[in-house]
Amino acid sequence: MENLEFRFNAQPARPAAGAALCGVVGSGNLEILIRPGDEADACTVSVKTSARGFGKIWEAVIADFASRHPVGGTRIAINDMGATPAVVTLRLGQALGDYTGGAQ
């Protein structure tokens, strides 16, 4: 397992729920939990992944997501069981959709 921590500047999110969970920690899948964070214009992400050595790819995938969506003021926690970048992006979008009530 590898623990990864990231922080990205992002436009503030407008939460509709106190927390949102998306996905399952199953083979090729992951779960994403979004909660309110401490800084309104930044997003912190902590990843626990079963696949070692993919830190740069995680950083690129999440940085891309944070640049395209208002995710400021959130704390994102991820438990991963080998999801591909496409699945990670899909689940991030779903989780943010639940967290903001569909308004992105």
Partner 1 sequence: MNAPINPSRRHSYFEATARNRVAAVLDAGSFTEFLPPEASQPSPHLAVLDIPGAFDDGVIVGSAALGGQPVLVIAQEGQFMGGAVGEIHGAKIVGLLRRAMAEKPAAVILMVDSGGVRLHEANAGLIAISEIMRAVLDTRAAGVPVLALVGGSCGAFGGMGIVSRLCSAIVMSEEGRLALSGPEVIETVAGVEEFDSKDRALVWRVTGGKQRYLTGDCAELVEDDAAAFRQGAIDVLAGWTEPAPSSATLRAEQDRLTSRRQRFAGMRDGLEVWAALGVPDPRQIPIMDRDSLVALRKGLPA
18 sits near partner 1 (criterion: CB under 8 A):
yes
Number of H helices, E strands in the chain: 2, 5
Q: Residue 61: which residues within 8 A CB-CB, separation 6 or more?
A: 85, 88, 89
Residues from 28 through 67 that contact partner 1 (CB under 8 A): 29, 31, 33, 35, 48-50
Query: Is the CB of residue 98 less than 8 Å from the CB of residue 91?
Result: no
90 sits near partner 1 (criterion: CB under 8 A):
no
Based on CB atoms, which residue is closest to partner 1, 42 or 78? 78
Q: Which residues bind partner 1 (CB under 8 A)?
A: 1, 18-19, 21, 24-27, 29, 31, 33, 35, 48-50, 77, 79-81
